[in-house]
Amino acid sequence: MNVVVCVKQIPDPADPGELDPETNALKRDVKLILDESDSYGVEMALQLVTAAGGGEVALVSMVPNSEVSGLRTALAMGAERAVLVSDEALAGSDALGTARVLAAAIGRLGEPDLILAATESSDGYTGTVPAQMAQFLGLPSVTFAKSIEVSDGQVKVQRQTEEGYDEVECPTPCVVSVTAGVVEPRYPSFKGIMAAKSKPVDEVGVSDLGIDPDSVGWAGAQQKITGVVQAEAREAGDIVVDEGEGYLKIVEFLEGLKVI
């Protein structure tokens, strides 16, 4: 079974970043890492391929600037190869443009049985790309999966709902988005890290995919940022260091609210 995982390389979330005052886009000139949300998809793909008794996990990703450090992490976990769409024209892409590019990049990897993505990235968090991409690929999709089984050309998914979960079935090939926490992502081994350095990364431009560069990035985004303001800040209240009596402050506060 062949699985493609869509992965995103993002600025380290521990360093929340800032907006470029010129363009109002997220500044991305810092070192990029593999979005932790995507490590679950990579792990799930590796486990599904093992369970199927063979096959390959491949990656697709896009960046404006040839960055590969996050991809190498996923390759070190065990993915075999990657298609990286790298093009300055991609800067400023909205979710729809992103989905269009990823769908075309997946086309370079033959006919995978399954395409996995995170439910949303940790930096842009639109959460619409998996469904948009599935539409461009002409495939069914199951979003918000908390478990996946594949057998006899059918995918069985437990899909998160507000009340619990639904069991959903869908024929392959299809797109499935996975929630964080579905599996425990493995740490890359030293051997894996060394091997990842020589795994193939097929770097292509937007026009190599048959996509008009004017339809992606700033040029193609059909939305424009018209304002950026500081939100009304919440004032910090009393900060007390606990020396055994901290709980009394809480009791007092609860009494003040009349909840006890």
Partner 1 sequence: MVDTIWVHAEANEAGVKTITLEMLAKAREVADDVACFFGGDGDDVAETLGAHGATTVYATGDLDDALIGVPVAAAVAAMIEDGDGPDLIMCGTTYDGRDVAGRLSAMIGAPVITNVVDIVADDDEVAGVEPVFGGSTDVTTSFDSDQPGIFLVRPKSFVAEESGGDAADVEDLDVPDLGAVGTAVVTGRHVEESEGPKLDEADLVVSGGRGLGESDSYSMIEGLAKLLKAAPGASRAIVDAGWVPYSFQVGQTGKVVKPTLYMACGISGATQHMVGMKGSKNIIAINKDPEAPIFSIADLGIVGDVHKVLPALIEALEARS
232-251: contacts with partner 1 (CB under 8 A): 233-234, 236-242, 244, 246-251
Residue 91 CB: number of other CB atoms within 10 A? 16
Strand 56-63 vs strand 81-86: parallel, antiparallel, or unpaired?
A: parallel
Which member of 33, 201, 204, 221 binds partner 1 (CB under 8 A)? 221
Residues 47-86 that bind partner 1 (CB under 8 A): none
Long-range Cβ pairs for the range 89-92 (8 Å, 24+): 89/64, 89/205, 89/206, 89/213, 89/214, 89/216, 89/217, 89/219, 90/62, 90/63, 90/64, 90/206, 90/216, 90/217, 91/25, 91/64, 91/217, 91/218, 92/23, 92/25, 92/217, 92/218, 92/221
Q: How far is the CB of 238 from partner 1 (least distance, A)?
A: 5
Q: By C-beta, is 73 or 141 nearer to partner 1?
A: 141
Which member of 33, 52, 91, 180 binds partner 1 (CB under 8 A)? 180
* Contact call for residue 222 and partner 1 (CB under 8 A): yes
Task: Provide φ and ψ at 83, rounded to 5°.
Answer: -110, 125
C-alpha distances out from residue 156 to 19, 153, 172, 210, Å:
41, 10, 10, 34
Stretch that binds partner 1, among 27-35, 50-58, 59-67, 88-96 (CB under 8 A): 88-96
* Contact call for residue 181 and partner 1 (CB under 8 A): yes
CA 154 to CA 156: how far, in whole Å?
A: 6
DSSP letter (8 states) at residue 26: B
Which member of 146, 202, 204, 205 binds partner 1 (CB under 8 A)? 146
Which member of 71, 94, 109, 178 binds partner 1 (CB under 8 A)? 94
Q: How far is the CB of 30 from partner 1 (least distance, A)?
A: 15
Q: How far is the CB of 10 from partner 1 (least distance, A)?
A: 13
Stretch that binds partner 1, among 12-20, 43-51, 80-88, 107-115 (CB under 8 A): 12-20
Q: How far is the CB of 177 from partner 1 (least distance, A)?
A: 9
Q: By C-beta, is 197 or 231 nearer to partner 1?
A: 231
* Contact call for residue 127 and partner 1 (CB under 8 A): yes
Instruction: With CB under 8 A as the rule, give the number of residues binding partner 1.
Output: 83
Query: Are 58 and 109 in contact, with CB atoms under 8 Å apart?
Result: yes
